[in-house]
Amino acid sequence: MNYENILVSIEEKIATITINRPTKLNALNKATISDLSKAISALGGDENVRVIIITGSGEKAFVAGADISEFANYTTVEGAQLAAEGQESLFDFIENLRKPVIAAVNGFALGGGLELAMACHFRVASDNAKMGLPEVTLGLIPGYGGTQRLPQLVGKGRAMEMIMTAAMISAEEAKQYGLVNHVVPQAELLSFTTVIAHKIIKNAPFAIGKAIKSINANFKDGKNGFDTEIKSFGECFGTQDFKEGTTAFLEKRKAEFTGK
C-alpha cells in the first residue's frame, strides 16, 4: 500500500511506521492521520506482524503538533467533528489495538504528537525529546484525547499544570512523571525499542491482546477491569498458545507461539 506521508517497513515481525513530513516537523494533517489509520489497520490484520513501532523522520521531531493551517477557520461544529473523527479513526483505534504499539519519540512531541504517543501502549524517548500540550496558547484544548490520557499517565495535578501552562518538559522529566518508560541516546532509540519489541514477540500474541484489553478496561467509564480480566483470563484457556505454553514449561523448552 502506498502512503503520502508515512513510510512502513516490516522486519522480523516488527513493523516500523515513520511519519515522513520532515519539512513540517512531521505535523499531523488530515492526510497523515488517514495514512496512519490505514497502515495500522492493515498491520493489525497482518499475521506476519506482532509489534508496531511509530516514530518520526529526522532528528528534530516525532510529531511537532497538528497542522494548524487546516483548521484555523473551523466553526464549533467542524472543530468537534475534527476531534471526534480523529479519535475514532486513529487515537482510540491505536489504544484498543490488540497488537502492541510502541511510540519511539525521537524529538518534539507536542500537541497532537504527544497525544499520538500517549495513545500508543507505551513510550520510549530519545534524550533530546521535548513533550507538551500547548493548545491553550491557540485558544484551544487538546482534542485527540490529551485531557484524558495525560492524567492517567502522570496524575491529575501534573496534567493540569502541563496543560494550563502549555509548558514543554524534557525527556528525563517525562520519565520521572511516568509519561515515558525509557530515555536513551537518539542514535540508540530504534535499536533499543526493537529489543523491547523482540521480548514481546517471544510471548503469546492472544494473551498479549487480552492483557491490553484488560488494562485498558480499568480506565473506561462503565467498565469493570476486574470483570474484563476474569473473562479474558478464561478465554486464554481455549487457545493453542495456552496448550503450547504450559506444555513447553513442563517439558522445559522454549514455547513456539502462533497466536491461535
Q: What's residue 74's pLDDT?
A: 93
Distance CA(213)–CA(105), nearest Å, equals 24
The three three-digit cell numbers of residue 41, written as one number? 489497520
Distance CA(91)–CA(128), nearest Å, equals 24
- The better pLDDT of the pair 69, 195 is held by 195
Catalytic residue among 95, 115, 172, 229: 115
Catalytic residue among 12, 85, 135, 235: 135
Distance CA(116)–CA(98), nearest Å, equals 17
Strands (E), the chain: 6-11, 14-19, 51-56, 61-63, 101-105, 108-110, 122-126, 130-132, 169-170, 182-184
Q: Which residues of 147-180 are buried (b: 16+ CB within 10 A; e: fewer)?
A: bebbbebbeeebbeebbeeeebbebebbbebebb
* pLDDT tens figures, 183-239: 999 999 999 999 999 999 999 999 999 999 999 999 988 788 999 999 999 999 999
Specify whether 115 is catalytic. yes
C-alpha dihedral sign at 149, 157, 109, 14:
negative
* pLDDT tens figures, 1-32: 789 999 999 999 999 999 999 999 999 999 99
In this prediction, residues 156-184 reach a mean pLDDT of 98
Distance, C-alpha 134 to centroid of its chain = 20
| Of 111-125, 156-170, 211-225, the least confident | 211-225
Distance CA(40)–CA(89), nearest Å, equals 10
Give the predicted TM-score (pTM) of the model: 0.95
Whether the Cβ atoms of residue 71 and residue 82 lie closer than 8 Å to each other = yes
Distance CA(84)–CA(75), nearest Å, equals 14
The three three-digit cell numbers of residue 64, written as one number? 511537532
Radius of gyration of the chain (CA): 19
Specify whether 135 is catalytic. yes
In this prediction, residues 63-84 reach a mean pLDDT of 92
Q: What's residue 27's pLDDT?
A: 94
